[in-house]
Amino acid sequence: MKIVVSGINANLRFSSAHIIPTHNFCGHIHGHSYFVDVEIEGEQSGDFDFVVDFGDVKDSVREHCRELDHRILIPIFNKKIEFKSSGHKNIDLDFFKNKKYLEFNIQEKEYKIPKVDAVILPLKHSSAEELAKYFAERVAEDILSEEKHISTIQIGVNEGIGQGAFFKKIL
């Protein structure tokens, strides 16, 4: 059995800015009005014979949409983003803990962005593909503690109508 939640109809959306470093078109700061589709396969179980409660799925996805909404998405493991590191070799989430600004170069371009305007993501890219994986991991963490009969979680991150990346996490 499979349940499907349509992001555009169920209001699982966020609007964010991002950059795909060095890409000739997407290398400039730009934004998308994203929406997130979800498909979950599994056995029916529990008191109501649900695969999973639609409300739990929507709560999870909506919360993660909210975290990204109206921010610029910065993937900290991108090799083309050179953070001003003052000697640090490894950039990780801790590196940004006490910083007020994200300061980095992408080739000859220099950026300084208030941290409150950004979301620091432990990803290589802020592409639809990587965001789909990111959402799949987060949603799995949220719903698997209660739901034991789920076999796959597929997330589609759409950068608008007609353009999205779909990742299926097999459990």
Q: Which is nearer to Zn ion, 28 or 148 (CB)?
A: 28
Q: Which residue stretches of the chain are H helix?
A: 7-10, 54-68, 128-144
Q: Which is nearer to Zn ion, 14 or 150 (CB)?
A: 14
What's the closest the beta carbon of residue 17 comes to Zn ion, in angstroms? Answer: 9
Q: Is 146 a catalytic residue?
A: no
Q: Please give the Cα distance from 19 to 12 (Å, whole number).
A: 22
Q: Is 70 a catalytic residue?
A: yes
With contacts defined by CB under 5 A, name the span among 24-32, 105-113, 116-124, 140-148 that binds Zn ion: 24-32
Residue 14 DSSP SS3: strand
Position of minimal CB gap to Zn ion: 26
Residues found near Zn ion in the complex (CB under 5 A): 26
Q: Give the catalytic positions in this structure.
A: 26, 70, 159
